Amino acid sequence: MTPKRRLGHCVLFLQTSADTSTRTWNDFETAAQAIEWLLARFEHKLKAVAATTPAIQYEMPAIFKFVDSLSDVAMFVSIEGSSIALSEDGAPIYAPKGREWIKTQIVHLLDGDPVRL
């Protein structure tokens, strides 16, 4: 039986505008935590725009528009529980993930499904 692969440590790279000084990165224990952080940024931005509204509401297209508005967004996600998860020297191997993968994972997370490869 093949061991189940799961996503582990994640580094999120983010650039909010064309200005390269807005480049930043954060690391998270899991890819799901990184996605949740990105959603929290989106919600914070909505709350700032609609400060007088007691409750904010949004739909998936608004989240996608936010993700697409970022000049750059990507993740490096470690793959655990697999023979390919470690390099020859035993260091974890990270898979690069882009904007479309991130949007797909947002859908999974909001649907209550696990973030996955």
**DSSP helix/strand/coil, 104:** helix
- Cα gap 53→46, rounded to integer Å: 10
Q: What is the pLDDT of residues 34-74, one digit of tens each?
A: 999 999 999 999 888 887 877 888 899 999 999 999 999 99
Residue 49 tokens read as 């725009």
pLDDT in tens, 9-21: 899 999 999 999 9
pLDDT bin (cut points 50, 70, 90) of residue 81 is: low
Distance CA 117, CA 99 (A): 14
Cα(109)–Cα(103) distance, rounded to whole angstroms? 10
Predicted TM-score of the model (pTM): 0.82
